[in-house]
Amino acid sequence: MKIVLLYPPPWKIAPFATPNYPPGQGPPAGFDDAAITSGDFLQIPYGLISLAAQARRSRMDVDVFNLANAPWPAVESFVHRTRADLFGLSCMTANRRGTAMVAQLIRDIHPSAHITVGGPHVTALPMETLTHVPAVDTVVVGEGETTFMALARRMAAGKPVSGLAGTAWRHNGRCHVAPPRPAIENMDSLAAPHDYFDTSTVLTSRGCPNRCTFCGSSRMWGRRVRYHSAPYVLNMLETAVNRHDRRFIAFKDDTFTADRRRILKICKGIGERGLKFVWSCDTRVDCLDEKTLAAMRRAGCVRISLGVESGSPVILKNIRKHFSLDKLAGLTETIQALGMEVRYYMMVGNRGETVETFLESLSLMERTRPNRFVFSQLHLYPGTEEFDIFCRHGHVTPEIFFTRDFFCLTCFAGDRHHEKQIREMLTPLAGVRTCREFGVTDRLATLARFPDLHLSHVDLCRACLKAGDPDAAEHHLRRALDLGFFLPGLAHNLLACIAAQRGDADQANAHLDLAVGHYPHAVVVENLQRLDAWRAAGAKNGCPKLAPGDGFESTCILRQPEFPDPIESACPAPVNG
């Protein structure tokens, strides 16, 4: 039996330099394409490659493809050329329309195939999905691995799949929902995606210990956190680092440090196994302490993102975000003193939002000075308490996701009299904003705490470059290399910056050529372009200023299935008949 798993595009994407498809098929009116060209949207859902890993471990014939930004003609060609007995589609709220379109396309071209859909959006709306998307045969509700494998095995054995626990299905024109499937108790029983796929994302747990009103984690994973053991996580990391050469890893657990004892074991194991990589994670204010943070730093952590959401105690209470703003301030200071960057996730438009509460959020940035922060507006996702509140008040119904062509359901739940002014104040804060840069004094203080950590010397090298001191920068870079700094591409980029500050363009170019040969880091490509433009302008003396690259880089694996590539090259050969 052949299985094909797909991550569909958000809608019918027009080929380059051609008009968009008409309303209802193409993007929403006035849509900014930047929302579907970012790494977060384009990267394949981790759950989809986990399904593929389970199938491959069971020796099933399965392929997985990322079609997130594929032009619709390429999608049509792909589906025509791709036959399978079972198609599995991953559905988020953002790509719900494209999922329906791809499902219908598969049904038209391969009428006998079984089409199943899973993911957070359909988990919250299984009956509605079956009602509005007639091409779909089954919906996998919630955690998918056990349910999907049971479905695949039944199909392979020629048995009916109706009534499987953890699914919704259609029979004789009527839709049904089976009882939920129990959560996977032994998380280590799952096949690790990294054994079968090259990905820089790692999930080490499922669920979150908290109940924020805007989050649907509990609907997807249940109401308790389940963890992979520290040895299992370390084996995943060893595979990602040593087999796939991943040197930048993003832990994308809802709350990575929810179990601090487990994190200490993981950090200790990273050192004991000699795993050389740098990493970032997402977590909460109330799940960190200095001992854990110090261990994380020694293990290679360079950035921590915190779900802060608001600087207003009123808003934090309304969205059930229980932490002290004073603790946040102290924690931010501790994280930065240990040499790690802090990024805040902020929100606007929650219940109770006014100009005053928004100003409290802005004041929080000035008071605590995270390195970066990013504001997003409140989105209503099915399966969240916020969506249920809006439904109870008659403002929305689930039908809106099937009758309207918006990307995400952005709303303002605060004081309507303040909405316009808040949105105007928010406009200049679009995107990730910088609030604090580390200077030489900051980096010297961190070096005093971690004198033999190569990352401390690399960070100080960058700070010295920003301060215009190439000699000190080179001294600390050489020390970092002596201590085992393991990113030669970034080391050569720093040597290029040092040469540029000394006015040696030829030497800078030579180092950049070596850097890009190791890995085309974004900052290396940027510096090569900057140097080429400088030369193209006819400059002969000196050298342009180059960027040392001090931000955490999620290195994009620009191939299937982690990120889309031209899917024509990934298509199977044409089949006869």
* Cβ–Cβ under 8 Å, residues 234 and 270: yes
- What is the predicted pLDDT for the residue at 33? 79
How many domains does the chain fold into?
A: 2
In which band, very low, low, confident or very high, does the pLDDT at 559 lie, cut at 50, 70 and 90? confident
Whether the per-residue pLDDT at 144 is higher than 70: the answer is yes
- For the chain, give the percent of residues with pLDDT over 90: 86
* Cβ–Cβ under 8 Å, residues 86 and 114: yes
Q: Report yes or no on 161 lying in a domain.
A: yes
Q: Which helix (H) or strand (E) holds 178?
A: none
Q: Report yes or no on 395 lying in a domain.
A: no
- What is the predicted pLDDT for the residue at 577? 28
Whether the per-residue pLDDT at 92 is higher than 80: the answer is yes
* The token pair that represents 434 in the structure block: 């910088």
Summarize pLDDT for 109-131 with one digit per residue, the tens.
Answer: 999 999 999 999 999 999 999 99
CB half-sphere exposure, 520, CA atoms < 13 A: 7
Q: Which helix (H) or strand (E) holds 175?
A: strand 174-177
Same domain flag for 262 and 371: yes
Q: Report yes or no on 466 lying in a domain.
A: no
Exposed / middle / buried, residue 179 (Cβ in 10 Å: 0-12, 13-18, 19+): exposed
Same domain flag for 269 and 156: no
Q: What's 296's domain CATH number? A: 3.20.20.70
- What is the predicted pLDDT for the residue at 553? 67
Same domain flag for 137 and 221: no
Query: What would the mean pLDDT of 218-241 be, rounded to a whole number?
Result: 94
* Cβ–Cβ under 8 Å, residues 493 and 548: yes
Same domain flag for 167 and 243: no
Whether the per-residue pLDDT at 477 is higher than 90: the answer is yes
Whether the per-residue pLDDT at 557 is higher than 80: the answer is no
In which band, very low, low, confident or very high, does the pLDDT at 555 lie, cut at 50, 70 and 90? low
Whether the per-residue pLDDT at 572 is higher than 50: the answer is no
Same domain flag for 243 and 176: no
101 or 220: whose pLDDT is higher? 101
* Cβ–Cβ under 8 Å, residues 336 and 291: no
- What is the predicted pLDDT for the residue at 74? 95
Q: Report yes or no on 28 lying in a domain.
A: yes
Same domain flag for 223 and 142: no
- What is the predicted pLDDT for the residue at 447? 98
Q: What's 66's domain CATH number? A: 3.40.50.2300
Whether the per-residue pLDDT at 199 is higher than 70: the answer is yes
Same domain flag for 45 and 148: yes
In which band, very low, low, confident or very high, does the pLDDT at 75 lie, cut at 50, 70 and 90? very high
Same domain flag for 51 and 88: yes
Whether the per-residue pLDDT at 31 is higher than 70: the answer is yes
Summarize pLDDT for 484-527 with one digit per residue, the tens.
Answer: 999 999 999 999 999 999 999 999 999 999 999 998 888 999 99
Q: Report yes or no on 485 lying in a domain.
A: no
Same domain flag for 251 and 362: yes
Query: What domain range includes position 156?
Result: 2-184
Whether the per-residue pLDDT at 575 is higher than 80: the answer is no
Same domain flag for 156 and 223: no
Same domain flag for 121 and 242: no
Q: Report yes or no on 220 lying in a domain.
A: yes
